[in-house]
Amino acid sequence: MDPLSRTANIVPFNNPKKNVKFIATSVWVNWGNLSNGKPLKKQFAIICLKNQLQGVEVIHPLTDFILSNWKLRSYNTQRRHALNTVSFLNYLLTCKRSLGITSLCELKISHGNSYLSNLTKEGKARDTVKGAERTLTLFYVYLHKLECLPNIHDSKIIKKQNEHGNWYYESLFDPIYPEYKNSELEHVFPLKYIPLLFEISILTAPRITLGIYLQIFGGLRVGEVVSLTRSSIRQRVKNGDLLFSLKSRNMRTDIKDTSGSNYVKRPRKQRVFNINGWLNILLEDHLELYNIDADGSGALFINSEGKAMTGKSYRQYFDKVKRNFIKYLREQGNQEDILVANHLNISKWSTHIGRGTFTNLLAEFAENPYDVAFPRGDKQLTSSLSYMSKTERMRLKIEERIQYMHNEYLPQLIERKKT
């Protein structure tokens, strides 16, 4: 059977019941062994066809598109392209009559343009449409290599090399893009209220108080926080600052789809500043309260069941802190506090605001971009004594910058430890 025939019916365009749809999900597979002999598991994104009436999912052959392009990439990368792919396939199933398509082999560039333009009509962000366009281009290239797109001439597939020497395929599409919009995201948390945020967290979601601190004064992402184990604390440096060993750890293989929540973008040793002695106190209290994990993972952050916390759970805890923080300012604060609360209530912000605040603090005292990039973990650079001295200078500057906050808010935990 020729490639064209094999591909013709792998998308159920002729299904009269319309009870199937494409979904992106994941599987865990054994990927070698650890030094202690235990199996190393790796999560892969896959494409499935789901019968919505019976709830049955079947792995679809087009999963090969994901694995052939991103098998060795992170799960997050695989999942993003899998979601883009199933979104396009479901669009084809839904709009097959208006598109005039009865087989995947009948795909034209116009169908891709129609899908991407429809994303714009739905109000998707420009980056979302651009991301879908990149996936779609590679999907067309994949099918073209299998000789399954007779309507796409070879001349349309253009491969280029960028200034860094990396190869890429030029987009096949020219859709209607969303207009550029100013970001509504709030990237920086008001410094004056950081201690109060810790205090609210201690009262409402103590499991993540240390994590919030690591994000604000260490720049850690959510995935990096929940991937930490108790053995990740490598060593202390000057003035109580800590070095944490960051690397991806699959501690929740019992969950089918963790959305790559424990993914560490750049494995590294991350320095976290010990501001006003808070880090020592928060870490000591955290280890005292949450030192037993039920799953043997050694996770530093655990949920109420004693299992390693996922990124999803962490965000849920953070949302609880956020709601209670805004509520406190509105009910207990002065006029200025109420204005801040109203602003934070209408702004879009979540856990990543910690990393944004850390970046802002660094930028305030940085002498060059290197002083910001290194502490953030943006580049894998070799540590040196000269860098450490600069880092120490920046830590002292940050501490001076927020010293005045003791006069307004002081976390209850620190007061309790003092007495």
CA distances (Å), origin 267, targets 26, 72, 202, 255? 23, 16, 29, 23
Mean pLDDT in the chain?
A: 83
In this prediction, residues 35-56 reach a mean pLDDT of: 86
pLDDT digits (tens, 9 = 90+) for 9-33: 678 888 766 789 999 999 988 888 8
Residue 352 has pLDDT above 70, yes or no: yes
Residue 1 has pLDDT above 50, yes or no: no
Residue 205 has pLDDT above 70, yes or no: yes
β-bridge mates for residue 50, sequence order: 21, 57
Residue 200 has pLDDT above 60, yes or no: yes
Instruction: Count the neighbouring beta carbons within 10 Å of the beta carbon of residue 86.
Output: 21
What per-residue confidence (pLDDT) applies to 112? 96
Q: The pTM is what?
A: 0.67
Token representation of residue 359: 């970046």
Residue 359 has pLDDT above 50, yes or no: yes
In this prediction, residues 301-306 reach a mean pLDDT of: 92
Judge whether 317 and 331 are in contact, CB under 8 Å: no
Judge whether 242 and 236 are in contact, CB under 8 Å: yes
Q: What are phi and psi of 166, to 5 degrees?
A: -90, 140
What per-residue confidence (pLDDT) applies to 419? 60
Of the ranges 47-56, 63-72, 343-352, the best mean pLDDT one: 63-72
> Could you tell me which of 31, 87, 82 has the C-alpha nearest to residue 59?
82
> Could you tell me which of 349, 280, 309, 294 has the C-alpha nearest to residue 208?
309
394: confidence class by pLDDT, cuts 50, 70, 90: low
Q: Hey, where are the domains in the chain?
A: 3-169, 191-418
Task: Work out the burial of residue 400: count CB atoms within 10 Å of its CB; fewer than 13 is exposed, 13-18 middle, 19 or more buried.
Answer: exposed
Q: Which residue has the higher pLDDT, 186 or 137?
A: 137
Q: Which residue has the higher pLDDT, 415 or 322?
A: 322
* DSSP at 299: B
Residue 324 has pLDDT above 90, yes or no: yes
pLDDT digits (tens, 9 = 90+) for 92-112: 999 999 999 999 999 999 999
Q: Which residue has the higher pLDDT, 112 or 55?
A: 112
pLDDT digits (tens, 9 = 90+) for 216-250: 999 899 999 999 999 888 777 767 888 888 887 77
pLDDT digits (tens, 9 = 90+) for 245-301: 888 777 777 776 555 456 677 788 888 988 888 898 999 999 999 988 878 888 999
Instruction: Count the neighbouring beta carbons within 10 Å of the beta carbon of residue 281.
Output: 19
Q: What are phi and psi of 244, to 5 degrees?
A: -110, 135
Q: Which DSSP string corresponds to 81-119? A: HHHHHHHHHHHHHHTHHHHT-SSGGG--HHHHHHHHHHH
Measure the CA–CA gap between 2 and 224, rounded to whole angstroms: 47
CA angle (214, 215, 217) in 5-degree steps: 65
pLDDT > 90 in the chain, percent: 45
In this prediction, residues 345-369 reach a mean pLDDT of: 78
What per-residue confidence (pLDDT) applies to 78? 94
393: confidence class by pLDDT, cuts 50, 70, 90: low
* DSSP at 11: S
β-bridge mates for residue 324, sequence order: none
180: confidence class by pLDDT, cuts 50, 70, 90: confident
Of the ranges 36-45, 113-122, 190-199, 343-352, the best mean pLDDT one: 113-122
Superfamily of domain 191-418: Intergrase catalytic core (1.10.443.10)
Instruction: Count the neighbouring beta carbons within 10 Å of the beta carbon of residue 293.
Output: 21
Sheet of 39-51: strand order equals 20-33, 39-51, 56-59
Instruction: Count the neighbouring beta carbons within 10 Å of the beta carbon of residue 153.
Output: 10
